[in-house]
Amino acid sequence: MSTTRASRPTRRGLLAMGGAVGLGAVLAACGGSDSKDSAGSGSKSADAGPWKFKDDRGQVAEAKSVPKNIVAFTGVAAALHDYGVEVKAVFGPTKTKDGKPDVQAGDLDISKVEILGNVWGEFNVEKYAALGPELLVTAMWEKDALWYVPDQSKDKILKLAPSVALWAAQTTMPKAIQRHEDLAASLGADVKSAKVTAARTRFEKAAARLRAAAKSKPEIKVMIGSASQDLFYVSLAKMSADTLYFQELGVKFVEPKVDKAGFFENLSWENVDKYGADVIMMDNRSSALQPEALTSKPTWTQLPAVKAGQVVPRTTEPIYSYDKCAPILEDLAKAIENAKKVA
């Protein structure tokens, strides 16, 4: 986190560090709204003609021609890449401390994009301006809040190019994918290509498999967790696009007593056994402590799901393309198929 931010984290900051979104990871170190997806896409690919796209804020981004010089939040850039649309620069978790691609970068070649900011609160406005941006694209977890666009420099950033925000919360995974596909199509992507069609078919088969797995084992309860050094966070499934969709497919989730923001409940490690769960999905983001880092915490190691080896990664901020979401469904289906009732 940037040292220029106030010591008390904002709600958006909590989301970024993982708490509200997929259960935060390093809150100690860092100090929802309408679920309707806005209609509208844009002109499909006519470079010579005007371009416009209505985003999930209900705002219309416009340009004299299809934008080519695109800057996007890393996860959104990765989704556009899967549809064949490349960006000039990214902001958000892109590179790990050892220089490898962050999990949110997907198949992006991070050596070929300018990284304007790699952590929450970091966005190099000067570099952004020098790129001559034609479009800024990011996610939206709260109404009208642009993901990883710092509040203190937002006005300067938004003056430089049209912007598009797409819901990542209180929608469902298929709807989120569709909106990313709509945007890609407006930017010239062939969304009916063999690659995209095959990925969509795989996604549909994976969804059917997860539905069947959940139906065959209705007794299996899943907990959505994320760990920091001092706290364990349990997320409410309906608040994120991925887990809401899993819930619609029949997966049974632990329902925590969330705070007023509505996303999650934070537990001390002494109380990590508050909820019984047969499978635990753990936040896979680089900001969160991973299960192998929790072996020194006895309350964690004694959880029935941990003892049974029924802890699986959760892609907390999915890359919303069929290509990246199909494996998420397959992995959860497999986990439930193989799970035993232990709670």
Q: Please answer whether residues 186 and 53 qualify as being in contact, where contact means their C-beta atoms are separated by less than 8 angstroms.
A: yes
- The rounded distance, in Å, linking the Cα atoms of 281 and 229 is 18
Question: Residue 283 — φ and ψ, nearest 5°?
Answer: -45, 120
| Rg over CA atoms, the chain | 20
Whether residue 102 contacts residue 96, with contact meaning beta carbons closer than 8 Å, is answered with yes
Residue 156 phi, psi dihedral angles, 5° rounding? -65, -40
pLDDT at position 3? 31
Q: What are residue 246's phi and psi, to 5 degrees?
A: -60, -40
pLDDT, position 25:
34
Give pLDDT, residue 10: 53
Residue 132 to residue 73: CA distance in whole angstroms: 17
Mean pLDDT of successive 10-residue stretches along the chain, which has 343 residues: 36 53 33 38 55 98 97 98 98 95 96 96 98 98 94 97 95 98 98 98 98 98 96 95 98 93 91 97 94 96 98 97 98 98 95
Name 270's Cβ contacts closer than 8 Å, sequence gap at least 6.
Answer: 299
Q: How many C-beta neighbours within 10 Å does residue 308 have?
A: 16
- The pLDDT score that the predictor gives to residue 170 is 81
Residue 178 token pair? 């569709």
pLDDT at 49 (0 to 100): 76
